[in-house]
Every structure is written in C-alpha cells, then in structure tokens.
A = this chain, B = another copy of it.
C-alpha cells in the first residue's frame, strides 16, 4: 500500500504524509474509517512511532484526519462529491517566445538605448537605499512620497505652467495606471468619454475596460474637433493638446479656451495627457491646458517614461480639487503602487538638478534623430509623400501620396525586409484608416539606422510598386 524510500531526499514522515493525503483525496481511504494505528504503521514499515506520529500530526493540522484519544486516527469526512479526481502534476514551464529578430524598429514608443543616465541613477538609487532602508518597513504615503511630489510640483509649475499643490498630485505606475484611477473617479457619473480619433489606443482601452462609454471624435488639423465635441453627449474629453497622438498637432489657444469653456459650462471634465511635452525641438514648450484654468475640472497626466525610462514605471496625475474628495474616499487606503525606493531616487534625481539636465540632453539627442529622419524621408521619398506632425515627440506621420497602398501589405512587406512598423490603423476607431498613413518612430534607432531603415523601407516599397 504505502511505499517508503529510505534513500529519498524527502523525509520519511513527509512521504507518509503525502501518500496518506493522496489516498484520502482519491477516496481510497473512506471517510471516518480508521487509519492504521501509529504503532502498526511504524512496525509495518520498521520506522519509529514518532515518525508516523509526525505525519499524522501534519495531516491533522490540515484537517485531513481527526483523532479520538486512545482510540485511533480517523479520516475526516470529505463529502465524496467534493473530492477531485485527478490531482495533476503539471510539467515545468513552457519555454516561450522566439521573437523574429527585426533590425529596424520604427515603433513610436521606442527610446534610445544609451540615453538612460545609468551612473547618476545608480547613485540616486544607492543614496535612497542607504538613507532610507530603515524606513522601508512601513507602507508609505498613498499618493506617493512627499519629497517626490514636491519636486514634481516645482517642475510642473516652472516648465509646464501647471498650477497645483502637492495634495493634488498622485504618483502612479504609468499612464494606464493613472487613467485607471481617473476612470474610477469618474465612473459614478456614468460619463461619456470623448477620445481623439485617431488617438492613443491604450487610453481608449483603459476607458473601455472600465465600461465607460467611449465616443471617438475626429481630429482636425488643430486637434480634437470641438464642434463635434459640443454637439456630442460627452461629459469627459481625453485630449493630448500639446502634441496630439499620433498626428502631432498642437491645439491652438482659441481651441483651448473653447475646450475649457465646454468643460466649465457643462460641468464636464478634461483629461489632459501631456505624455511627451518635454520633447519639443523648436520654440518654447506649449504651456499646459491645466495652467489656463487651474480651478477647472482638469486632470493633468504626465510621465517619466519617455524622457527617463519606460522601465521605471513612474507617472503622475494632477487631480482637480473637485475630484479630491472622491479620490480620498476611494483610494485613501490604497497603498501606492510605485516602489518607494525608486520614488526617493527620483526625488533626489530631480532635487539635484539631474532631471533638468537630462531633459535637455535627451531633447538634443532626439532632435538629431528627428532631423535625420526628416532628411532621410526627403531624400528617399520626397516626392511621393508628405510628413505630418514633425517638430516634437518621438515619431512623425508620413502620408504617402499613392493612396492605393494597403496598410497590411505595407506592414507585411516592411516586416519582410526586417522593418517593424506600427500600423496607423491601430490608432483609429471609426475614422476609416487613410490608406498610406505610416507612423515612423525614431526614438529607438541610431541616426545611421534611421537613414538605412528609411532607405530600405522606401526602396522595397518602390520595388513592390514597380512590380505591379
């Protein structure tokens, strides 16, 4: 019945335990039936009684058996229907993922591999670890470390014209996490969320995941179509006014004021996603919408992902005062979701001026790439396409004049030559995807690779076209 191996690594009493457990679960030991007495089992297997007893005690602790003093151990009644048939032993993990290697990745969210300020970050991390390791034992401030929020507030005020105090700032683990929170705050009013079309697909997902009604509205040359917004039933507008994704336009001040008025008069909310405002390559950065109406119903969202590293998972919200009560009610006893260590490192990084310096450095770096991309585009398809949305961010949109090109084929062909394209249609909902729209992200490629990649892309496309 029971088989014990004395040579096994697993202790005798554990072997006994698991075999008896198995017998009980599989029903071979009926409910309330007596188990062999401690002595019997010990004799039978030529082991100590205490060894058996240890096994029994373990089973007892987990409720498999019960004991009647001086009478015996008995199987706990497990209703037979409860008992599972097969206690399966699944094998080890499936080995996964062989990514086809792609040489030119034009995904708009790729960043420069060298740009991360490794040395300085290490120093900040170590300082944070050293200074604060005594403090790592309690759960910290729910909205994020005070020092970090202070630094964020200073930065936002100076560089983005955002007006707020630190109580309005919530540190969170990425844009999507921030939008999750916002969706929660707003959902009670059963909002209708107007989103840009084309627009940031991941933001749409968040709202949709929260079962909010999402209403895609067209994007004009000047950003979200405000006429359409006013005519709609929307109560919330998610916008990227400083640098529309993906089209790259800036919402002019007239539209901004109109948008603010829409919010104010209708009691509506604006979610301002300022995802890459640091990256403007000429002129001053566009001041934020929030700064125009600091007391309005505006949720401002920013991130460290683009400039510092997406691997850090730190972003932040600035909530309007009107949402603070709801925030406190819902989230006051949520723990923060960003590592305190990294929050402190980041606070120090900013406090010591590394952030400002790094922003400048990165801006120069990407401007060069941006320029290289434009040069390459001019050279390799200057006639056949026009560029939309240059001058900021980490990508541009290329509008091919030959509108007969199917996106799927384009992407597939590019893939074939080792080029990864992010399909424009991903950003669209209702708007029927214009044929010949191509998003080219340049953050992750070196200047040389940008040149090569563009050449390859339009060379192959040329071939494809001329083959027809």
User: Which A residues fall within an 8 A CB radius of B?
Assistant: 25, 57-58, 61-64, 76-79, 81-84, 87-90, 92-94, 96-97, 109-116, 118, 121-122, 125-126, 129-130, 133-140, 146, 150, 153, 163-167, 173-177, 180, 184, 187, 201-202, 205, 209-211, 222, 250-258, 260-261, 283-284, 286-287, 292-295, 305, 309-314, 330-331, 333-342, 443-444
Contacts and interface: CB of A to CB of B under 8 A. Distances in A.
A87 B161 CA distance: 11
13 contacts: A58-B283, A62-B287, A63-B255, A82-B254, A82-B258, A90-B165, A111-B138, A137-B444, A138-B444, A209-B330, A312-B341, A313-B339, A338-B339
Contacts of A89: 163
Contacts of A129: 118, 121-122, 125
Given A82-B261, A312-B339, 19 more contacts: A61-B250, A78-B253, A78-B257, A82-B257, A84-B293, A90-B163, A90-B165, A121-B129, A126-B126, A137-B443, A137-B444, A138-B310, A174-B337, A176-B337, A202-B333, A205-B330, A209-B331, A337-B337, A339-B339
Contact of A62 (B94, B97, B201, B286): B286
B84 A292 contact: yes
Contacts of A81: 261
Contact of A310 (B88, B90, B121, B139): B139
B209 A184 contact: yes
Contacts of A138: 109-111, 310, 444
Given A62-B252, A82-B258, A257-B83, A134 B146 contact: no
Contact of A311 (B94, B257, B313, B340): B340
A98 to B, nearest CB: 12
Contact of A137 (B78, B112, B174, B222): B112
Contacts of A261: 79, 81-82
A195 to B, nearest CB: 15
Interface secondary structure of A, over-half rule? loop
Nearest to A337: B173
The list of the 4 closest CB pairs from A to B, nearest first, reads A63-B252, A82-B257, A173-B337, A311-B340
Contacts of A254: 63, 76-79, 82
Contacts of A330: 205, 209
B88 A163 contact: yes
A241 B164 CA distance: 45
B333 A201 contact: yes
B337 A93 contact: no
Contacts of A125: 125, 129
Contact of A336 (B57, B187, B202, B313): B313
A130 to B, nearest CB: 8
B93 A150 contact: yes
A255 B89 CA distance: 22
Contacts of A121: 129
A9 to B, nearest CB: 13
A76 B253 contact: yes
A131 to B, nearest CB: 11
Given A76-B252, A118-B129, A118-B133, A167 B284 contact: no
B118 A137 contact: no
A202 B115 CA distance: 39
A304 to B, nearest CB: 11
Contact of A136 (B146, B251, B309): B309
Nearest to A391: B61
A262 to B, nearest CB: 9
A364 B452 CA distance: 60
Contact of A109 (B134, B139, B180, B334): B139
